[in-house]
């Protein structure tokens, strides 16, 4: 194999392919990026058996072939080359020569015979969504997935399609995040759970353009995302997702309208007195025209009051401040509406159209 590439194009491609390098594999071949040059196309391929990526880069093919190169070594070499064209050649013993200007590296690589290439997916029907929308959906939900591998289903997000409605949901046992969007077309019902890791990495790769689209294909075991010159293939998480509709309610005893930024800044200040090990709640006291925030910890205490519109009963309720901050940070609206029933029941932050819903469980507190 012998190819010539510009450094920026090659480095961008390696950065994309690196998203499927876990670094924790016991198989050395999975720590590699495959460089494949054939049929006038240069591909960079990576696969950790859960997440696989193929991306096409521009370049000149002098001789076809393929080779598996340790991803970390490859990245560092290319990154530190001067900005110039890069020549990569491979001999019959899989020794890779990489040179740029007067700098030259010779490194040992591997045959691609043992590399697990991405399986061929039959592309029957796909949904189209803008890169901007998908990136926003992920940003507004992925923070509430669980990191506990013992509850595997919670480490993923539910992608559910009914007609032209796409609903994405995540939960970790303390909160639920839901985003709904209307698609351009109508589709058969789909319900799959995609690993949060996949969605986080996809979000990093997407350019976020409103006019740039992502095609998403689903099979029984995989979700395939196709955009720009990149394919991302992910295994789905097996099992039935939680019945989140049963956890949602339209009942409330107290309805609060408040400025999001003012509330977020107030809670952010309150966390200055909370050590993570203490897990002290922020206590919210809602009365006519006001919303009080209080924190009492080993460091000290804080009390602050902000303006708010209240309908219904007064309420005093405690929350893990992080859960409130996470939800408020991803809501784009200036004014938000909070619905509460009592200090023991879930609290909801949602808009009238319910294009977003955040359910947060309260915590016990003593005054």
Summarised one tens digit per residue, pLDDT across range 59-85 is 999 999 999 999 999 999 999 998 789
Domain boundary among the residues 214, 246, 278 is at 246
The range of the structural domain enclosing residue 131 comes to: 126-246
Is the Cβ–Cβ distance between 360 and 349 less than 8 Å? yes
Alpha-carbon distances of 313 from 253, 254, 271, 310, rounded to whole Å: 6, 5, 27, 8
332 CB-near residues (< 8 Å, 6+ apart)? none
CB 246 within 8 A of CB 325: no
Q: Is 338 a domain residue?
A: yes
Specify the pLDDT at position 367: 66
Flag whether 197 is in a domain: yes
Q: Mind listing the pLDDT tens digit for each residue in 102-160?
A: 899 999 999 999 999 999 888 887 899 999 999 999 999 999 999 998 899 999 999 99
Q: Is residue 113 part of a domain?
A: no
pLDDT recorded at residue 302: 94
Q: Is residue 7 over pLDDT 80?
A: yes
CATH number for the domain that contains residue 222: 3.10.150.10
Q: How many domains does the chain contain in total?
A: 3
Q: Verify that 131 and 186 share a domain, yes or no.
A: yes
Q: 186: closest CA among 128, 116, 258?
A: 128
Tell me, yes or no, whether 255 and 306 share the same domain.
yes
Do 242 and 254 lie in a common domain? no
Element (H, E) at 112: none
Is residue 254 located within the same domain as residue 218? no
Task: Tell whether 137 and 66 lie within a shared domain.
Answer: no
Same domain, 265 and 319: yes
Say what percent of the chain tops pLDDT 90. 89
pLDDT of residue 343: 96
Are residues 174 and 260 part of one domain? no
User: Domain end: 213, 231, 246, which one?
Assistant: 246
Q: What is the average pLDDT score of the chain?
A: 95
Listed residues 108, 140, 170: the one ending a domain: 108
Residues 235 and 253 placed together within one structural domain of the fold:
no
Distance (Å, whole) CA 41 – CA 122: 21
> Which of 324, 314, 310 minimizes the C-alpha distance to 282?
324
Residue 84 resides in a domain: yes
Asked whether residue 114 is domain-assigned, the answer is no
| Residue 121 falls inside a structural domain | no
| 104 and 147, same domain (yes or no) | no
Indicate the DSSP class of residue 242.
Answer: P
């Amino acid at each position: 194999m012998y190819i010539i590439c510009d450094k920026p194009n090659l480095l961008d491609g390696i950065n994309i392919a690196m998203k499927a390098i876990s670094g924790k594999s016991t198989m050395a071949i999975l720590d590699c990026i495959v460089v494949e040059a054939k049929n006038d196309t240069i591909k960079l391929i990576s696969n950790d058996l859960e997440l696989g990526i193929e991306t096409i880069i521009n370049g000149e093919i002098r001789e076809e072939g393929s080779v598996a190169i340790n991803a970390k070594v490859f990245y560092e070499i290319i990154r530190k080359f001067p900005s110039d064209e890069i020549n990569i050649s491979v001999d019959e013993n899989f020794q890779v020569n990489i040179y740029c200007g007067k700098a030259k590296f010779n490194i040992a690589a591997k045959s691609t015979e043992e590399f697990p290439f991405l399986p061929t997916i039959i592309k029957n029907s796909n949904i189209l969504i803008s890169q901007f929308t998908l990136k926003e959906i992920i940003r507004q939900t992925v923070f509430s997935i669980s990191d506990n591998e013992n509850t595997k289903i919670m480490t993923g997000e539910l992608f559910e399609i009914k007609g032209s409605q796409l609903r994405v949901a995540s939960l970790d046992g303390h909160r639920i995040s839901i985003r709904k969007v209307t698609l351009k077309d109508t589709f058969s019902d789909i319900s799959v759970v995609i690993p949060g890791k996949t969605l986080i990495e996809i979000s990093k790769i997407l350019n976020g353009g409103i006019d740039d689209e992502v095609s998403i294909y689903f099979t029984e075991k995989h979700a395939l995302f196709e955009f720009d010159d990149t394919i991302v293939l992910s295994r789905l998480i097996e099992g039935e997702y939680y019945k989140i509709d049963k956890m949602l309610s339209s009942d409330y005893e107290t309805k609060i309208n408040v400025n999001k930024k003012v509330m977020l800044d107030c809670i952010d200040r309150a966390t200055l007195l909370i050590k993570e090990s203490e897990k002290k709640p922020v206590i919210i006291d809602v009365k006519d025209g006001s919303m009080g925030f209080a924190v009492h910890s080993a460091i000290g205490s804080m009390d602050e009051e902000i303006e708010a519109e209240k309908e219904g009963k007064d309420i005093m309720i405690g929350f893990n401040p992080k859960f409130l901050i996470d939800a408020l940070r991803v809501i784009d609206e200036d004014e938000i509406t909070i619905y509460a029933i009592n200090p023991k029941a879930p609290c909801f932050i949602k808009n009238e159209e319910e294009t977003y819903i955040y359910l947060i469980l309260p915590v016990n507190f003593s005054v």
